[in-house]
Amino acid sequence: VTTFNSPQLPPVTQRLPWPFVASALVAFAALYASGKFFVLMPVLAVLLVATAALPWRLPSSKILGWVVRVAVWIVVLSISPRRHTTGMSLNFGGSILYEPDYVHLFGYLAAAELVLRAWTFAPRGPSRGDALLLTALVLTAASNTTDRMPIQVLAPAYALLTILCLRAFDRSPGGRATDLLAPPHRSRPPLLALRAVAAVLAVGLAFSAVFVVTQYEYSITNWAMQFARSRPARQTEVGLSTSPQLTSVFNPQPSMNRVMLVEGPYADRHLRALAFDTYLNGQWLPALAHRQFELMPPPDLHRGTAGARLQFTPLVDTFELILLPLESAEVEFPGSIARDAQGCLLARAAPEDPHYAATVLPNSTFQGPLCLAPDDALRQRLLAIPPTLAPAVVSLARDVAGPGDPASRVQNLVRHLRTQHAYSLQYDPGDGEPLNDFILNARAAHCQYFASALAIMARAAGVPARYVNGYYAHELFGKNQTVVRDRDAHAWTECYLDGTGWVTVDATPDSGRPDQLFEQPSRWRHLLEYLQDLPRRIRAWASQLTLQSATVLTSLPVAVLLVVWLIRLLRTPRKLNAGARSYAERSAELSAAARRFDRVLAQVGHPCTPHRTWREHLVRLPDAVPVDREKCRTFVDAYEEARFGDCDERALAAAQDVLRELEVAPSPHQQAKEEPVPAGRP
Partner 1 sequence: MDTSTTHMFATTIARLESNLSSVIRGKPDSIRLLLTSLLAGGHALLEDVPGTGKTTLAKSLARSISGVFRRVQFTPDLLPADITGSSFYKPQDGSFEFREGPVFANVLLADEINRTSPRTQSALLEVMSEAQVSVDGKRRELPKPFFVVATQNPSEYHGTYPLPEAQLDRFAVRISMGYPDAQSEIEVLLSHQDHHPYEDLDAVVDCEQVIAMQQQVRQVKVEPAVADYVVRLVQHTRADLRLRLGVSPRGSLALYRTSQASALLQGRPYVTPDDVRALAIPVLAHRIVLDTKSKYGGERNEQVIREALEKIAVPR
Contact range with partner 1 by CB under 8 A, out of 3-11, 33-41, 210-218, 548-556: 3-11
Q: Which of 232, 385, 254, 250 is nearest to 317 (CA)?
A: 232
AA identity, residue 166 = L
User: Binding residue for partner 1 (CB under 8 A) from 423, 471, 614, 635?
Assistant: 614
Contact range with partner 1 by CB under 8 A, out of 240-248, 310-318, 415-423, 578-586: 578-586
Residue 42 preceded by cis peptide, ω within 30: no
Alpha-carbon distance 424 to 397, whole Å? 22
Q: What is the 3-state secondary structure (H, E, C) of 135-185?
A: HHHHHHHHHCCCCCHHHHHHHHHHHHHHHHHHHCCCECCCCCECECCCCCC
Give 213's contacts (C-beta < 8 A, 6+ positions apart): 220
Where do the H-state alpha helices sit in 578-667?
Answer: 588-603, 614-620, 629-644, 649-663
Q: Kindly state whether residue 570 participates in binding partner 1, applying the rule CB under 8 A.
A: no
User: Binding residue for partner 1 (CB under 8 A) from 69, 379, 539, 612?
Assistant: 612
Alpha-carbon distance 205 to 316, whole Å? 38
Minimal distance, residue 173 CB to partner 1, in Å: 8
Q: Which of 365, 326, 363, 318 is nearest to 344 (CA)?
A: 326
Minimal distance, residue 260 CB to partner 1, in Å: 52
Site track 639-668 with partner 1 (rule: CB under 8 A), x = hit: -xx-xxxx----------------------
DSSP 47-78: HHHHHHH----B---HHHHHHHHHHHHHHHHH
Total residues at interface with partner 1 (CB under 8 A): 40
Minimal distance, residue 628 CB to partner 1, in Å: 20
Minimal distance, residue 625 CB to partner 1, in Å: 20
Q: Kindly state whether residue 583 participates in binding partner 1, applying the rule CB under 8 A.
A: yes
Site track 149-178 with partner 1 (rule: CB under 8 A), x = hit: -----------------------xxxxx--
127: which strand partners?
179
Q: Kindly state whether residue 579 participates in binding partner 1, applying the rule CB under 8 A.
A: yes
User: Binding residue for partner 1 (CB under 8 A) from 69, 615, 631, 633?
Assistant: 615
Q: Which is nearer to partner 1, 201 or 569 (CB)?
A: 569
Binders of partner 1 in range 110-129 (CB under 8 A): 123-124
Alpha-carbon distance 15 to 606, whole Å? 10
Torsions phi, psi for 450 (to 5 deg) = -65, -45
Q: Kindly state whether residue 575 participates in binding partner 1, applying the rule CB under 8 A.
A: yes
User: Binding residue for partner 1 (CB under 8 A) from 547, 558, 584, 588?
Assistant: 584
Contact range with partner 1 by CB under 8 A, out of 6-14, 139-147, 499-507, 664-672: 6-14
Minimal distance, residue 631 CB to partner 1, in Å: 18
Q: Which is nearer to partner 1, 322 or 638 (CB)?
A: 638
Minimal distance, residue 602 CB to partner 1, in Å: 14
Contact range with partner 1 by CB under 8 A, out of 4-12, 16-24, 70-78, 241-249: 4-12
Minimal distance, residue 615 CB to partner 1, in Å: 5
DSSP 293-312: -EEPPHHHHB-----EEEEE
Q: Kindly state whether residue 62 participates in binding partner 1, applying the rule CB under 8 A.
A: no
Contact range with partner 1 by CB under 8 A, out of 208-216, 290-298, 511-519, 568-576: 568-576
Q: Which is nearer to partner 1, 10 or 535 (CB)?
A: 10
Degrees, nearest 5: CA angle 584-585-590: 130
Alpha-carbon distance 457 to 493, whole Å? 11
Q: Which is nearer to partner 1, 641 or 657 (CB)?
A: 641
Minimal distance, residue 119 CB to partner 1, in Å: 21
User: Binding residue for partner 1 (CB under 8 A) from 57, 586, 631, 681?
Assistant: 586
Degrees, nearest 5: CA angle 495-501-505: 30
Q: Which is nearer to partner 1, 5 or 554 (CB)?
A: 5
Q: Which is nearer to partner 1, 407 or 594 (CB)?
A: 594
SS3 percent helix, strand, coil of the chain, rounded to 5, is: 50, 15, 40
Site track 279-298 with partner 1 (rule: CB under 8 A), x = hit: --------------------
Angle between helices 406-420 and 391-401 (to 10 degrees): 110
Q: Which of 310, 312, 314 is nearest to 264 (CA)?
A: 310
Count other Cβ atoms within 10 Å, centred on residue 567: 10
Alpha-carbon distance 69 to 669, whole Å? 31
Minimal distance, residue 682 CB to partner 1, in Å: 23
Q: How remote is the C-alpha of 403 from its chain's centroid?
A: 65
In the chain, DSSP finds a helix count (H) and a strand count (E) of 23, 17
Q: How remote is the C-alpha of 461 from its chain's centroid?
A: 59
User: Binding residue for partner 1 (CB under 8 A) from 8, 85, 292, 543?
Assistant: 8
Q: How remote is the C-alpha of 593 from its chain's centroid?
A: 61
Binding residues for partner 1, rule: CB under 8 A, are 1-9, 123-124, 172-176, 571-575, 578-579, 583-584, 586, 594, 610-616, 640-641, 643-646
